[in-house]
């Protein structure tokens, strides 16, 4: 079913996990472009700062835990009470745990799934109640690990696989109903956010993200493009596409590559602090609004693959995918990811 999505400046957009990282970058970009926003997060102080930053009547905030159905219903109710309707719903909230699966406490596994998977389910099912009547966009945040698991973030990988399966199934059901709802799965590569700081850590050293690492503004631009243009999938960073293709076309080789590199690349130089704070079970107590962690100077400020793929015709997209597949092969052949930085 073909339908048009509204220009961003005419939209009411719900964003979960709106006070840091990709969610914060998306909220700020959308605000600059004139959208009305309903922003949700667990940290009420951070939300209050964000409301003050944006000012005016074009923002509403809700303290909510997306793993709780009643909280998600309150997000929708606040958006409707303030603006009267919802045009785009972005399920962005997410958490992670670093450590080998056998070492992680079961309650931490469950909490991760409550946020990453059930948070998306709760948000999506609440969103479509309202989007089906007027039309709009549902945008779910997956990951490059939606298609290819990595060690030391096994349950995070599992949750993002589950998000992909749920999102794909919901999309097909809505298409069968001919509902005017665009359903997009966004799959970012490593992004320079507070992801590692907020993650629970079972490793001896502090968590790190494998390169290449992309700017959160690139993810925000891709998400908001999908809010205006129906897209099935969006990869943020050519590295994400390369990892996906590598996992699909040469899974055994990717297993070996991941085993050989990911244990080292996901651990930093600093020893882990005993009883370090994180944001798994409770919100980050810090009140500073931060999009980026800024721990590395080598952050990709552009993503040519993503920029081209968003507007490309099928033939060009196939050529781009071929380039990403070649990069994935080179990544395995060289045992490093430098070949992906240009994508």
Cis peptide before 204 (omega within 30 of 0): no
Taking the alpha carbons of 233, 234, 239, 240 in that order, is the dihedral positive or negative? Answer: negative
Band of residue 328 on the pLDDT scale cut at 50, 70, 90: very low
CA distance 128 to 90: 12
27 neighbors 37 (Cβ within 8 angstroms): yes
Q: Give the pLDDT mean for 306-311.
A: 92
Q: Average pLDDT over the chain, rounded to whole? A: 93
Could you tell me which residues come within 8 angstroms of residue 21 by beta carbon, excluding any fewer than 6 positions away? 191, 193, 194, 195, 216, 290, 291
The whole-number pLDDT of residue 314 equals: 58
The pair of structure tokens assigned to 200 is: 């629970």
Catalytic residues: 156
The string of pLDDT tens digits covering residues 137-165 is: 999 999 999 999 999 999 999 999 999 99
The string of pLDDT tens digits covering residues 51-86 is: 999 998 999 999 999 999 999 999 999 999 999 999
Band of residue 3 on the pLDDT scale cut at 50, 70, 90: confident
Is residue 297 scored above 90 in pLDDT? Answer: no
The pair of structure tokens assigned to 233 is: 């999938």
The whole-number pLDDT of residue 339 equals: 46
CA distance 122 to 70: 9
Could you tell me which residues come within 8 angstroms of residue 214 by beta carbon, excluding any fewer than 6 positions away? 188, 189, 190, 191, 192, 236, 237, 239, 299, 300, 303
The whole-number pLDDT of residue 342 equals: 52
Residues of the chain with pLDDT > 70: what percent?
90
- Comparing 274-283, 301-310, 320-329, the range with the smallest average pLDDT is 320-329
Cβ of 77: how many Cβ atoms within 10 Å?
A: 13
Q: Give the pLDDT mean for 221-236.
A: 98
Residue 99 DSSP class: B
The string of pLDDT tens digits covering residues 238-294 is: 999 999 999 999 999 999 999 999 999 999 999 998 889 999 999 988 768 999 999
SS3 of residue 93 by DSSP = coil
* CATH superfamily, domain at 8-340: NAD(P)-binding Rossmann-like Domain (3.40.50.720)
- Comparing 21-35, 93-107, 220-234, 316-330, the range with the smallest average pLDDT is 316-330
Q: Give the pLDDT mean for 131-135.
A: 96
């Amino acid at each position: 079913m073909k339908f048009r999505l509204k220009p961003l400046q005419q939209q009411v957009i719900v964003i979960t996990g709106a006070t840091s990282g990709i969610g914060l970058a998306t909220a700020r970009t959308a605000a600059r472009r004139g959208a009305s926003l309903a922003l949700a997060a667990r940290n009420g102080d951070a939300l209050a700062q964000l409301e003050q930053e944006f000012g005016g009547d074009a923002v509403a905030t809700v303290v909510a835990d997306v793993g709780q159905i009643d909280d998600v219903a309150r997000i929708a109710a606040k958006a409707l009470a303030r603006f009267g309707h919802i045009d785009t719903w972005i399920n962005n909230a997410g958490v992670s745990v670093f450590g080998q699966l056998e070492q992680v406490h079961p309650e931490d596994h469950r909490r991760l799934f409550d946020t990453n998977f059930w948070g998306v389910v709760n948000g999506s099912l609440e969103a479509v109640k309202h989007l089906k009547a007027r039309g709009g966009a549902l945008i779910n945040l997956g990951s490059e690990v939606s298609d290819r698991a990595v060690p030391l973030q096994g349950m995070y990988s599992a949750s993002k696989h589950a998000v992909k399966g749920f999102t794909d199934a919901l999309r097909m059901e809505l298409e069968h109903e001919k509902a005017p709802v665009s359903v997009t799965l966004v799959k970012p590569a490593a992004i320079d956010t507070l992801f590692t700081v907020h993650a629970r850590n079972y490793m001896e050293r502090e968590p790190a993200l494998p390169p290449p690492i992309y700017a959160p503004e690139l993810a925000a631009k891709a998400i908001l493009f999908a809010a205006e243009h129906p897209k099935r999938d969006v990869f943020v960073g050519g590295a994400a596409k390369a990892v996906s293709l590598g996992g699909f076309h040469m899974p055994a080789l990717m297993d070996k590559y991941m085993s050989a590199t990911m244990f080292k690349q996901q651990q930093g130089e600093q020893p882990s602090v005993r009883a370090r704070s994180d944001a798994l079970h409770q919100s980050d107590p810090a009140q500073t609004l931060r999009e980026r962690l800024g721990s590395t100077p080598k952050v990709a400020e552009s993503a040519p693959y993503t920029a081209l793929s968003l507007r490309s015709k099928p033939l060009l997209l196939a050529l781009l995918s071929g380039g990403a597949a070649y990069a994935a092969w080179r990544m395995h052949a060289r045992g490093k990811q430098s070949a992906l930085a240009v994508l």
